[in-house]
Amino acid sequence: MDADATRLLERILAFLGEAGVVVREEPIDAPTFLPGIRVTGGVLVFDRARLDWPGDLLHEAAHVALTSAARRAALDDALEAEPPDAIGEVEAIAWSFAAATRIELPLDQLFHADGYRGHSQGLALAYSLGVYHGAAGLAAFGLTAVGEQARRLGVRPYPHMLRWLRD
């Protein structure tokens, strides 16, 4: 990992700690969905030596953060088979975008060429234009506010987050 990637990783890790997502660094020998990242017992585990894109940590952290507190500790690598109360993939993308915005992570580090099954460029374009797919789902859980709701509450709208972890 080069010096720039290391600095980005450190910013991401500091943010995740502040947000309340538990992260642990340790060697990962088994194959993983994303290189160098796994979730076990609701903890985001990463292997710096195998991590291709530090921004991927934000997306996987979103799955942890958006699983209800009561079920979070049971969350593991089977992110495709999320607990029934978990918010879906589009909300995880919205959460990770809000996190990237908060820490001023360049969009090409979140929506990198190797990610999102070939849809990274479209996602980056949509979010850069203010088309925030998934934000309404985050608002439904009280994590952010959108549109008229934000005005009524007197808070900044998404991508500003009111809190990062789901109850």
Q: Which of helix, strand or coil describes residue 53? A: coil
User: What's the pLDDT at 80?
Assistant: 52
Please compute the mean of the pLDDT values over residues 83-106 and round it to a whole number: 87
The reported pTM is 0.93
- d(CA 112, CA 8) in angstroms, rounded, equals 14
* Contact of 68 with 86, CB cutoff 8 Å: yes
User: What's the pLDDT at 134?
Assistant: 96
Whether 106 shows a pLDDT value over 80: the answer reads: yes
* pLDDT tens by residue, 44-88: 999 999 999 999 999 999 999 999 999 999 998 755 554 555 568
* Helix, strand, coil shares, percent, the chain, to 5: 45, 10, 45
* pLDDT tens by residue, 114-167: 888 888 999 999 999 999 999 999 999 999 999 999 999 999 999 999 999 999
Q: Beta strand pairing status for 37-40 and 43-46?
A: antiparallel
